[in-house]
């Protein structure tokens, strides 16, 4: 079994880049009254939705931020340089007192001198390089990489779920339009019945009660047609919301498609295995386990020594010790190098913060791993339930197709018999109601079947099934 998974194919993005041109210049745009009508197919609607989605854009930014986090974590492998400069002003300079030294009757006067400059300048360059961190850097990079993987997973799922949501809303709109067509045809049938009743009344074959009753049926049905048309507008608003269309005042939007069932042959075990592998919630949960593993390893590493090399080069301004004047034309330099080994002794104490955090991270990891099996089992049960729903709705479609066929033949026969005066208007109305219910039942079954397929896609975390899974007939 093959399924389409991961991020949407390249065609979606290519199509998305051309949608704006489509909206402005497409021949699918026609004039209706003072407003233009833009007609979108399902693929065009999906491309436009992906292009406009603020959620997708937000997830893209999150992915870029996670890339930056990975680069920052990896930078710990490399040397760290820092430059510094310091100027200090002393309002009072310390000066050592003068003194005299006498030797064999001779004396030497040692004058006092200044201890430090009044305005010394210090310029330095520091260098540090980790030598061995016992896994600290490696685990930090792993945490950052896992964050990037999760951000990419969130982006892929946002795109995938948006595609499925657009498909649902798109076919909800198509269903509403189909229901309007059924109601319009039913109203037309009642108007035909009124016409026949009027003709029979004019011929003196029936009382005026038949005409009044038929006219009442027509008027009573008109609100249902109005309600059906309102449902089309509501369904269109739902699609516009997903496509993030807010400036539709200058044009009308119409979606082009058919509510036609496409049947698939599913291999139950393969589908369950695929869901266990790709289900978004499961992948998120596994990512949480990976996070916990990295955190547990990092806490262990923090209890181990840290070895770093360091170096410093410093330039200090000089001064005249006799006068205390600053001399900025001559500098003293000093180079130091060394190795630093730090051992977190407090981490070895059982009741220390480090020990507590290590224990907590280990317990969190154990809890996550214990819950993983129950989540996988719930996925299996969910797949089983949805497959049963798909089979149920497919059976309803086939049954309702037969019902529509029989009801259509029954209505045609009843309409002919009513026109010939063999049956009453009530018997004709009953046949018409049966046909109306059968057509609505068929459309509803198709829509429910399509929705069940989308539920299955969500559980497996895909946005369409592969073409070779389609049933030939």
Q: Render the burial of 57-91: b for 16+ CB within 10 Å, e for the rest.
A: eebeebbeebeebbeebeeeeeeeeeeeeeeeeee
Residue 316 shares a structural domain with residue 267: no
Residue 192 shares a structural domain with residue 96: no
Q: Which domain range does residue 112 map to?
A: 81-132+306-342
Residue 270 shares a structural domain with residue 313: no
- Give the neighbor-by-neighbor strand order of the sheet with 35-40: 30-32, 35-40, 251-255
Per-residue pLDDT of the chain (473 residues; tens, 9 = 90+): 444 444 554 444 444 444 444 444 344 444 444 557 889 999 999 999 999 999 999 999 999 999 999 999 999 899 999 999 999 999 888 888 877 776 666 777 777 788 888 899 999 999 999 998 888 888 889 989 999 999 999 999 999 999 999 999 999 999 999 999 999 999 999 999 999 999 988 988 888 898 999 999 999 999 999 999 999 999 999 999 999 987 655 678 889 999 999 999 998 899 998 888 888 888 888 888 788 778 777 877 877 888 999 999 999 999 988 888 999 999 999 999 999 998 877 766 666 666 666 666 677 777 777 777 888 888 899 999 999 999 999 999 999 999 999 999 999 999 999 888 888 888 999 999 999 999 999 999 999 999 999 999 999 999 998 888 888 75
Residue (of 323, 270, 412, 256) closest to 113 by Cα position? 323
Let me know if 445 is exposed, middle or buried by CB neighbors in 10 A (0-12, 13-18, 19+).
Answer: buried
Say what the pTM is. 0.78
Residue 406 shares a structural domain with residue 446: yes
In a domain, residue 323? The reply is: yes
Domain boundary among 342, 360, 392: 342
Whose tokens are 């233009």? That residue is 36
Looking at the 3D structure of the chain, how many domains does it have? 2
Centre a 10 Å sphere on the Cβ of residue 465 and count the other Cβ atoms it contains: 21
Residue 248 shares a structural domain with residue 277: yes
Domain boundary among 294, 315, 342: 342
Residue 148 shares a structural domain with residue 289: yes
Residue 216 shares a structural domain with residue 337: no
Let me know if 162 is exposed, middle or buried by CB neighbors in 10 A (0-12, 13-18, 19+).
Answer: buried
Residue 373 shares a structural domain with residue 336: no
In a domain, residue 72? The reply is: no
Residue 126 shares a structural domain with residue 218: no
SS3 (DSSP) at 9:
coil
């Amino acid at each position: 079994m093959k399924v389409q998974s991961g991020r949407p194919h390249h065609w979606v993005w290519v199509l998305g880049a051309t949608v704006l041109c489509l909206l402005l210049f497409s021949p699918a745009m026609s004039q209706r009254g003072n407003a233009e009508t833009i007609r979108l197919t399902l693929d065009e609607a999906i491309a436009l939705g992906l292009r406009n989605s603020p959620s997708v854009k937000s997830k893209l930014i999150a992915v870029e931020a996670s890339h930056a986090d990975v680069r920052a974590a990896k930078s710990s492998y490399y040397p760290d340089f820092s430059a510094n400069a310091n100027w200090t002003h002393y309002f009072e300079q310390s000066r050592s007192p003068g003194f005299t030294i006498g030797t064999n009757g001779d004396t030497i006067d040692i004058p006092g001198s200044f201890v430090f400059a009044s305005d010394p300048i210090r310029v330095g360059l520091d260098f540090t390089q980790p030598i061995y961190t016992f896994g600290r850097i490696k685990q930090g990079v792993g945490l950052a990489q896992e964050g990037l993987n999760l951000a990419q997973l969130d982006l892929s799922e946002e795109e995938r779920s948006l595609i499925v949501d657009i498909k649902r809303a798109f076919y909800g709109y198509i269903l509403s339009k189909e229901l309007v067509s059924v109601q319009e045809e039913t109203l037309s049938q009642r108007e035909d019945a009124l016409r026949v009743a009027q003709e029979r009344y004019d011929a003196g074959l029936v009382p005026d009660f038949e005409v009044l009753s038929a006219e009442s049926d027509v008027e009573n049905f008109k609100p249902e047609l109005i309600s059906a048309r309102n449902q089309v507008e509501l369904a269109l608003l739902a699609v516009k919301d997903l496509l993030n269309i807010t400036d539709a005042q200058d044009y009308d939007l119409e979606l082009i498609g058919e509510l036609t069932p496409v049947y698939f042959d599913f291999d139950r075990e393969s589908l369950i295995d695929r869901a266990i592998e790709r289900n978004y919630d499961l992948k998120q949960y596994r990512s949480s386990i990976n996070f916990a593993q990295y955190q547990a390893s990092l806490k262990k590493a923090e209890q181990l020594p840290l070895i770093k090399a360091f170096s410093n080069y410093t330039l200090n301004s000089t001064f005249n010790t006799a006068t205390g004047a600053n001399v900025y034309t001559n500098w003293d330099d000093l180079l130091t190098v060394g190795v630093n080994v730090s051992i977190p002794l407090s981490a070895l104490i059982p009741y220390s913060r480090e020990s507590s955090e290590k224990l907590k991270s280990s317990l969190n990891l154990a809890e996550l791993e214990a819950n993983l099996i129950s989540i996988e089992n719930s996925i299996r049960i969910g797949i089983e339930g949805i497959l049963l729903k798909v089979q149920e709705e497919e059976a309803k479609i086939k049954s309702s197709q037969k019902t529509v066929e029989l009801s259509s033949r029954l209505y045609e026969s009843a309409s002919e018999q009513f026109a010939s005066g063999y049956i009453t208007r009530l018997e004709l109305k009953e046949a018409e109601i049966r046909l109306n219910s059968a057509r609505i039942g068929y459309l509803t079954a198709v829509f429910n079947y399509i929705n069940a397929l989308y539920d299955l896609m969500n559980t497996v975390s895909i946005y369409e099934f592969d073409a070779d899974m389609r049933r030939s007939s």
